[in-house]
Amino acid sequence: MNIAFIPVRGGSKSIPLKNIKEINGKPLVYWTARAANDASCIDKVVIATDSSEIKEVVSSFGFEKLEIFDRSPQNASDTASTESVMLEYLEAAKHNKDDNFFLIQATSPLLKAEHIDKIFQKYIKSNADSIFSAVIEKQFKWLIEADGSVKPVNYDYRKRPRRQEFEGLAAETGACYINSVGNILRDKCRLSGRITFCELPSYTAYELDEEADWIIVEQLLKIYS
């Protein structure tokens, strides 16, 4: 079984009830819920929330694969990790350890069903233990040291490569991760074992954390949704 898991909580401080705030005519969580529901590889979509308001909104979507999991208050606090609610659900649900668990982030509404299917196909073909969605960044990166000095991370500034010859870095988008249920229960982490990545279009890297992000992502949704 392939389970898509979307954790959402009601206590966002940057944008109150962010996960059900309307963007491009729909609540934010609608976009990733629809993508997961429409992905051919997904058997079940689980939205984990502590909020009665969010549950009411999510229930109105009418997606056939979707069910709601009541996450505990301690796993919906400002300090709770995503891994804590993943483990809470998996320990309660008792899924087969060989089942595949897709962690999907509601604040990445530009993720589409076709992207989820693409990530899963790469996961299967690569024979990796876990995989994450990524975009390729070709900027030259520098690490800032404690004293304010910098050192190059991904290139030699004395032998600056041409852009066409530069592999760049795979940057996590945070939109989607896949691992087995057994690995997550054992390692307590969304990624483990032999890890690979799946490259997605650059626009999928946008996340919604602050009010200003809404303007950019809403326009992108009008183009790509």
Residue 103 CA, distance from chain mean position: 6
Cα gap 185→37, rounded to integer Å: 24
Per-residue pLDDT reduced to its tens digit, 105-154: 999 999 999 999 999 999 999 999 999 999 998 888 899 999 999 999 88
Look at the chain and report how many structural domains it folds into. 1
Quick: pLDDT tens for 68-117: 999 998 888 878 899 999 999 999 998 999 999 999 999 999 999 999 99
Give the CATH number of the domain where residue 111 resides: 3.90.550.10
pLDDT at 42 over 90: yes
> So what's the pLDDT on residue 14?
66
60 vs 209, residue with greater confidence: 60
The answer to the question of residue 104 being in a domain is: yes
Q: What is the pLDDT of residue 75?
A: 81
pLDDT at 73: 85
Phi (first) and psi of residue 45, to 5 degrees: -115, 125
Alpha carbon distances (Å) from 12 to 32, 55, 79, 132: 18, 15, 11, 24
Q: 36-50, 84-98, 108-122, 197-211 — which is least confidently predicted?
A: 197-211
Asked, for residue 154, whether it belongs to a domain, the answer is: no
The pLDDT of residue 13 = 65
Does residue 177 contact residue 100 with C-beta atoms inside 8 Å?
no
Average pLDDT (159-169) is: 83
Rounded percentage of the chain residues whose pLDDT exceeds 70: 98
pTM of the full predicted structure? 0.92
Collapsing DSSP to helix, strand or coil, 166 comes out as: coil
**Is it the case that residue 32 has pLDDT exceeding 70?**
yes
Q: Residue 184's pLDDT is what? A: 97
Give strand ranges (E) for the chain: 2-7, 22-23, 26-27, 44-49, 66-70, 100-104, 130-137, 142-144, 150-152, 169-180, 195-199
Name the residue among 219, 107, 121 with its Cα closest to residue 174. Answer: 107
Segment 8-21 mean pLDDT: 80
Read off the pLDDT of each residue in 178-193 and give the average, rounded to a whole number.
97
Give yes or no for residue 161 having a pLDDT over 80: yes
Tell me the residue range of the domain where 124 lies.
Answer: 2-133+172-224
In a domain, 151, yes or no: no
d(CA 101, CA 192): 13
Residue labelled with tokens 């959402």 = 8
Is there a domain that residue 58 lies in?
yes
Distance CA 171, CA 207 (A): 13
- Whether 152 is in a domain gets the answer no
In DSSP notation, 19-43 reads GGSEETTEEHHHHHHHHHHH-TT-S
Q: Is residue 53 part of a domain?
A: yes
- 10 occurs within a structural domain: yes
Does a structural domain hold residue 16?
yes
pLDDT at 209 over 90: no
By three-state DSSP, how is residue 224 classified? helix
Residues serving a catalytic function are 160
